């Protein structure tokens, strides 16, 4: 990934989202060549010179202090995910650390046993580029559309944009696509030297116009919790809560688990899905897991 280009596009798209009215600045009219704030307006809000901000927007984030970065966060009204992305871009712009690069986490046999023991909820472990590295039986049943083909590991971004099964599995495909691209952009800021991520983005840019359009927005997000909708061919619509937990001991890996809220149609449908995998005992376990929330 080109850190300078990513920085330039990220900052330009952030200021394009704001108007003077959004920031309390007077708008003296006149024709704006591009939407959003002008560079001099961002510089004024951040308390830096126009020349300095211009250098930053051209990708010159190396050595920039946390204070200046936080001033940009305030000026551009960045959310938590965007702030973290900006700081990631600044760190990546600096010299490579002298210490050895931290080894990426591996899915050990014990982690797979942990997933297998989670019989009441679909769960899997992924890396930052959305490769599913390990998954339990109920998770594979939930994502059965993605596991139709033999290629492994299943990549959820590739599935979303290049597989018709994604349009069947996600009733709100656009939302799923937005999230997938935003997560990849976030990872690109964290680890721009990931060759696998660069190859994946290049492939999707080449093969999917939808991906190209979303990638150009430079949106980012922290995927920690919320809800996700599925339309499963066996049980129908599922509205599931999602919890994504980063694994500090396994660098770069995230454990994601889904569960249904108690006393909802999704709980009953999840119980039926568990029956398909584990029989009636699995359904009872799923019911107990939902009730314990």
pLDDT in tens, 76-131: 999 999 999 999 999 999 886 544 455 677 899 999 999 999 999 999 999 999 99
| Same domain assignment for residues 140 and 60 | no
Q: Is residue 119 part of a domain?
A: yes
Band of the pLDDT at 150, cuts 50, 70, 90?
confident
Boundary residue ending a domain (62, 93, 124): 93
Statement: residue 164 has pLDDT above 90:
yes
- On whether both 88 and 203 belong to a single domain, the answer is no
Structure tokens at 175: 């939302």
Residue 99 resides in a domain: no
Is 98 part of a structural domain of the chain? no
User: In terms of C-beta distances under 8 Å and separation of at least 24 residues, what long-range contacts does 159-165 make, across chains too?
Assistant: 161/204, 161/207, 161/208, 161/210, 161/211, 162/204, 162/207, 162/208
Q: Which has the closest alpha carbon to 121: 256, 264, 280, 276?
A: 256
Residue 31, domain member (yes or no): yes
- Structural domain boundaries, residue 206: 109-291
The CATH number linked to 19 is 1.10.260.40
Domain-located, residue 117: yes
**pLDDT tens sequence across 237-285:** 999 999 999 998 888 899 999 999 999 999 999 999 999 998 865 445 4
For residue 30, the model assigns a pLDDT of 66
Distance CA(195)–CA(1), nearest Å, equals 8
Choose among 147, 276, 166, 163: nearest CA to 231.
Answer: 166
Q: What is the pLDDT of residue 35?
A: 81
CA distances (Å), origin 118, targets 101, 112, 258, 281: 32, 10, 11, 13
Q: Residue 39 pLDDT > 70, yes or no?
A: yes
**Range with lowest mean pLDDT among 18-22, 99-103, 180-184, 244-248:** 99-103
Give a yes or no: residue 103 inside a domain. Answer: no
74 and 115 co-located in one domain: no
pLDDT digits (tens, 9 = 90+) for 209-243: 999 999 999 999 987 789 999 999 999 999 999 99
Three state DSSP letters for the chain: CCHHHHHHHHHHHHHHCCCHHHHCCCCCCCCCCCCCCCHHHHHHHHCCCHHHHHHHHCCCCCCCCHHHHHHHHHHHCCCHHHHHHHHHHHHHHCCCCCCCCCCCCCCCHHHHHHHHHCCCCCEEEECCCCEEEEECHHHHHHCHHHHCCCCCCCEHHHHHHHCCHHHHHCCCHHHHHHHHHHHHHHHHHHCCCCHHHHHHHHHHHHHCHHHHHHHCCCCCCCCCEEEEEEEECCCEEEEEEEEEEECCCCCCCEEEEEEECCCCHHHHHHHHHHHHHHCHHHHHHHHHHHHCC
Q: Report whether pLDDT(51) > 80.
A: yes
Pairwise pLDDT comparison (95 vs 187), residue with the higher score = 187
Residues 78 and 139 grouped into a single domain: no
Chain mean position to CA 162: 18
Task: Decide if 183 is inside a domain.
Answer: yes
Domain co-membership, 81 together with 124:
no
Residue 291: pLDDT band with limits 50, 70, 90: very low
Are 82 and 188 in a shared domain? no
Nearest CA-CA partner of 87 in 111, 103, 71: 71
pLDDT at 100: 45
**Which residues make Cβ contacts (< 8 Å) with residue 230, sequence separation at least 6?**
142, 169, 170, 171, 237, 238, 240
pLDDT on residue 170: 98
> Is the previous residue joined to 268 through a cis bond, with omega within 30 degrees of 0?
no
CATH number for the domain spanning 136: value is 3.30.450.180
Question: 263 and 147, same structural domain?
Answer: yes
Domain boundary among 93, 126, 157: 93
Whether residue 195 is contained in a domain is answered as yes
Span 188-204, pLDDT tens digits: 998 888 999 999 999 99
Is the pLDDT confidence value at 44 over 50?
A: yes
Asked if residue 43 and residue 148 are part of one domain, the reply reads: no
Q: How many domains does the chain have?
A: 2
**Do 116 and 51 share a structural domain?**
no
* Token pair belonging to 211: 């991906």
Reported as a single tens digit per residue, the pLDDT across 55-67 is: 999 999 999 999 9
- Residue 236, phi-psi category: left (phi > 0), alpha (psi -120 to 50), beta (remainder): left
pLDDT at 34: 75
Is the pLDDT at 286 greater than 70? The verdict is no
Same domain membership, residue 145 and residue 260: yes
In this structure, the answer to whether residues 86 and 37 fall within a common structural domain is: yes
Mean pLDDT on 25-34:
74
Tell me which of 68, 93, 118 is where a domain ends: 93
126 and 89 assigned to the same domain: no
Closest CA to 181 of 156, 164, 153, 199: 156
- Does the pLDDT at position 290 exceed 80? no
Asked whether residue 137 carries a pLDDT value surpassing 90, the answer given is: yes
Note the pLDDT of residue 238. 98
């Amino acid at each position: 990934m080109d850190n300078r280009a990513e920085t330039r596009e990220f900052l330009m798209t952030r200021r394009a989202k704001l108007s003077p009215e959004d920031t309390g600045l007077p708008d003296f009219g006149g024709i704006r060549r591009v939407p959003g704030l002008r560079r001099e307006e961002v510089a004024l809000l951040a308390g830096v010179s126009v020349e300095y901000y211009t250098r930053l927007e051209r990708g010159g984030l190396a050595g920039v202090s946390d204070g200046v970065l936080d001033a940009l966060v305030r000026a551009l009204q960045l959310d938590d995910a965007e702030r973290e992305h900006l700081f990631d871009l600044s760190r990546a712009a600096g010299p490579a650390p002298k210490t050895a690069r931290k080894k990426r986490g591996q899915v050990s046999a014990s982690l797979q046993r942990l997933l297998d023991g989670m019989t009441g909820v679909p769960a899997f472990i992924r890396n930052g580029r959305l490769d599913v590295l390990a998954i339990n039986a109920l998770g594979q049943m939930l994502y059965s559309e993605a596991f139709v083909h033999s290629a492994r590991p299943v990549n959820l971004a590739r599935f979303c944009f290049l597989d018709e099964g994604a349009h069947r599995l996600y009733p709100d495909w656009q939302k799923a696509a937005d999230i997938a691209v935003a997560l990849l952009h976030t990872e690109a800021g964290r680890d721009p030297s990931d060759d696998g991520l660069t190859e994946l983005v290049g492939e999707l840019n080449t093969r999917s116009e939808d991906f190209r359009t979303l990638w150009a927005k430079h949106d980012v997000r922290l995927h920690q919790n919320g809800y996700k909708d599925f339309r499963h061919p066996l049980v129908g619509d599922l509205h599931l809560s999602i919890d994504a937990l980063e694994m500090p001991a396994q660098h770069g890996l995230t454990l994601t688990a889904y569960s249904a809220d108690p006393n909802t149609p999704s709980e009953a449908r999840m119980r039926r899905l568990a029956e398909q995998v584990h029989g009636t005992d699995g359904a009872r376990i799923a019911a107990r897991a939902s009730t314990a929330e």
